[in-house]
Structure formats: C-alpha cells, structure tokens
Amino acid sequence: MSGSHSRRGRRHLAALIAVALVATACAGNGPVLANPALVLPAPPTATPTPSPVPDPIAIQLPRDDGLHDRLTEWWYYTGHLVATDGRHFGFEAVIFRAERGSVPTTWASHLALTDESGNRFLYAQRSQIGGPVSLTPRNLGSSPTGFALSVTGFDPSDPSSLLRMPWTLEGSGGRDRITAALSPQEAAPAGGSFGLALDLTSTKPAALHGANGWIDFGPAGSSYYYSRTRMTISGSLMLDGASLAVTGAGWFDHQWGDFISVGGGGWDWFAVELADRTELTLSLVRAADGTLPLVYGTYVDAAGHATNLDRTDFAVTASESWVSPHSGAMYPAAWHIEVPSQGLVIDLVPTIADQELDTRPSTGVIYWEGSQRVAATRSGQPVSGEAYVELTGYALAKP
C-alpha cells in the first residue's frame, strides 16, 4: 500500500529532521498503503498543509501518474528478472516524496536486488532535501502526463557525492523506465555493486484500490492508490562490474495523499502474479496493539478487471518465522493464502531468508521486502507464479 519520505553527521541534521522525522517510518508502494511503513509525524518546525481541494477526486491517467501537491507520495516498483544465462533476480526501486509546510520538499530512494541464484541480497539508499516540484491539476490547472524523478543523495560532508549518477524513475501511461546504479563510493551493506536499466510496459489497465482509487483513513487522513499489476520488462542488470541482459515482469504502485500517521503497528503486503495472467494484492494493517483495523485486497482477472476484496473475502496465515541477525527482529517467513471466491490457494516462501533493509539513514525504519517462491492452485489445478512480500513494523527502528 502504498506510505513516504541522513544521518551523516551534524551537517545533515536538517536532512535527518526533514526525512527521518517527516517520514519516520517509510518502509515500502500507512495502513492501506502497500509499501514502506509510513508513520509520518509532522516536523516540529512546520505545520502540515493539506490540499484545499475537497476529496475524493476521480483518478485520471496519465495525468495522475505525475506529482501531486500532497503531504506524502511515492512511486514504487518491484519485479522479477531472468538473465540470458538463466540466473533469477528480484528487485525493488522506489522514490518517496514528503511535503510539510515550510520545510523544503524531502526525497528518499531505496534500491534493492535479490540474487536468487547467488543467494545474496544487496540494497542501497539515498535521501535529499529540495528539488523541483511539479503540481497536478488539483491546484494549478495544469495537466502533467507523467513523472521524471531523480535522486542524487548529495552529501555536503562528502564532496565525492557530487559525482553520483542520479537514480531516475520515469513513466507515463504505463510505459516506464528505471535507471539506477550504485556509484563507486556507494557500497551495498552486504558488499557488491549493482544497478538497473529497465524499460517497463504495462499490459493491463491500472487497478484502482479501495473506492475507485480512494482510501479514507479517518482521522489519519486519506490516500489515492493505484497499481499496474503486470508490466513486461526488458533491459540490463549491472552486477559486480558485469552487464547482464534481462527480461521479466514488474509491479508498480503509486500512492499519494494527505496522511500523517497510519499503520502504527506496521503491515504485511502481498503482490502475487500468477501464470494464468491474474494478480492478487493483499494488505493486513496492524494497530500498535497488534489488532488488524484494516484488511483489504484487490484481485485482477486475466482481462484486467479489478475486484476489491474485504477482510471476509480471503484468509492469510503465517506458518514460519525468521529472526534477523542484523536487527534481531522476528519476521513471519511463509504464508498460506486462500481466496475462496476465486478457488485460489497460494503458499509463499521467501527465495532468500535475509531480505531485510535497514533504511534508518534515509527513511527512519528497518523493514523486510523480498521475492517469493509460489506454489498455488486454482480449483485444485496447479498454477505457477511470482510474488513479492513487504513486512513493516517488526523491527524497532530508531534513527
């Protein structure tokens, strides 16, 4: 579901306030937010300024692929790649944006690669303050038709950061591009360098979640949210100095709205793409006491028609757990999903146990997000697939 937006010495204190406080928990595409656990307190020096335009307003694409004058927004990709040499990979690429009153717009970006064949997980992160802001027709009467976002993560305490190539996400109407690679001075925590240069094309209409793309959080605010659930991918993967031609399938979440604090206990988010050309996304949002105040999902059939699901339409059971050697957090590590109306039974197991990201320097949280092995049946008949799962709120993350 989509939530949003360093800690590198005293000179980055402003960045820490604007990023780690403006988006204290930004880990993967709030409660109904299928992505970063966003618990967003307002910075002490600024007052959030919600949109003066009454909600909800019907989503219009490609106009609403672009940026919005809202408190929180993100563009979030996950996907599965196969190299010409047969190796399999999962990936995550996301840019978050946070706007809080007089505080300059803050940005953060996460990039991750699951080397399923090599049994390793690599990730990196960036954050920055300020940058161009393009507003949607909601306030300015203009008509943006897409987005072109870049994060360099310039660090004034590190002059070499000027040499960083930007991480860029671009898209309009379901034709998108990801261009992001680690610069020489950016080492992934697990070692190794990597990058993505991918073209993505949606093969289905955008799926609108909730009430035609509108989700009401009550006192916490509200959000717009849609996904492109099946995107074909071609391009290249850079890994350890080598360039690999890859193809694959991707998933895109875009979420924006005037929300400040949602999903206080974190959430579990599932995105499943099955070989029969259907897709399923589920969100289980926890309150601080562990209860589930919000449970919802969306099923997309082979023709691209989206059906919203409520908590009575499916069941999710965690059957195993994994303890992180880095944070000490215990995460669920295998799931059994049933969607009776579709005759679906799905079992998910992580391709690699350790797919945890410590993003406290950029977004203030630790979370787990990774690719899955899928064993599913529809009406008793086997169907293969691929999936991604995001888990937030399991690690006590403090800047």
Residue-wise pLDDT tens digits, 343-367: 999 999 999 999 999 999 998 899 9
Asked if omega into 361 is within 30° of 0 (cis), the reply is no
Taking the alpha carbons of 227, 206, 250, 384 in that order, is the dihedral positive or negative?
A: positive
* 3 pLDDT higher than 90: no
Taking the alpha carbons of 389, 327, 108, 59 in that order, is the dihedral positive or negative?
A: positive
In 344-378, which positions are buried (b, 16+ CB within 10 angstroms) versus exposed (e)? bbbbbbbbbbbbbbbbbbbbbbbbbbbbbebebeb
Binned at pLDDT 50, 70 and 90, residue 328 comes out as very high
Closest CA to 18 of 59, 38, 39, 46: 46
* 35 pLDDT higher than 60: no
Tokens (6 digits) for 252: 């895109």
Structure confidence at residue 173 (pLDDT)? 93
Tokens (6 digits) for 25: 């928990």
Structure confidence at residue 281 (pLDDT)? 98
Closest CA to 227 of 200, 246, 247: 200
Dist CA 8 CA 30 (whole Å): 27
Judged on CB neighbours under 10 Å (0-12, 13-18, 19+), 238 is middle
Q: Are strands 381-383 and 366-378 parallel, antiparallel or unpaired?
A: antiparallel
Q: What is the Cβ-side half-sphere exposure of residue 78, based on CA atoms within 13 angstroms?
A: 27
Mean pLDDT on 20-44:
36
Mean pLDDT on 27-34:
32
Q: How far is CA 207 from CA 13, 278, 323, 355, in A?
A: 39, 12, 34, 27
* 134 pLDDT higher than 50: no
Binned at pLDDT 50, 70 and 90, residue 164 comes out as confident
Tens of pLDDT, residues 6-28: 323 322 323 333 334 343 333 33
The SS3 assignment for 139 reads: helix
Tokens (6 digits) for 266: 């974190």
